[in-house]
Amino acid sequence: MRKLLHTTVAGGAAAAALVALAAAPASAASSDSQFDVTFPDKRPQTQYYVQNSASLNSQTGKVTGKSVMSWQILDDQVIDNSKRYTSFKITTRIEERLTKTSEDHVVTTKTCDLTKLVNDNYTWFQQEDVNTCVAPSTLYDGEVWWSTDSTVVYDIEGDGKGPVTKELTGSPLLHG
């Protein structure tokens, strides 16, 4: 009898925990960054925006990190169909830290090549898969602090300076 009662109580507790996990709302945190690129010739100055977000899916128990990139030329009267970049890539990272103030550790990462998209479109404000870089999801642990961070590395066509790296603002921390 005692074994049966213990199994029933344990099974009931596990079921209650699963229901609580499934009923919990998804958590999300995001931040925005922007930077300008000035070209060495008549190509128009361009402003880039990146939204980094970390979100917890309560159904899967996983955290996802994504970076959405958009851009616009700063001179509205210009249409630029020239090749602006030899390379334009964004790397999105899901990071964890043991305490709120400790150092970040990369858990998953993905680099997305946006060169063709940026060269073919002088302005882009749609949020679609082609301008969104999603790092592989990972199992959420509420004991650590989670964020999504990203880096853009671009090389301007014809300037001879090589790649430029922009570290962008990471998402606010998820915890608990």
Cβ atoms 55, 24 nearer than 8 A: no
The pTM for the full model equals 0.82
Of 162 and 17, more confident: 162
Q: What pLDDT is attached to residue 93?
A: 98
Q: What pLDDT is attached to residue 41?
A: 87
Domain layout of the chain by residue ranges? 26-167
Q: What pLDDT is attached to residue 80?
A: 72
Q: How confident is the model at residue 22 (pLDDT cuts 50, 70, 90)?
A: very low
- What the block records as the tokens of 78 is 């210009």
Q: What pLDDT is attached to residue 4?
A: 33
Q: Among 12-16, 24-28, 85-89, 100-104, whose mean pLDDT is lowest?
A: 12-16
Q: What pLDDT is attached to residue 13?
A: 38
Give me the mean pLDDT over the 115-135 stretch: 95
Q: Name the average pLDDT for the chain.
A: 86
Q: What pLDDT is attached to residue 42?
A: 84
Query: Is 80 exceeded by the pLDDT of residue 128?
Result: yes
Tens digits of residue pLDDT in 55-100: 999 999 999 999 999 999 888 766 777 899 999 999 999 999 999 9
Q: What pLDDT is attached to residue 167?
A: 97
Instruction: Determine the CATH number of domain 26-167.
Output: 2.60.40
Alpha-carbon distance of 154 to 112, in angstroms, equals 12
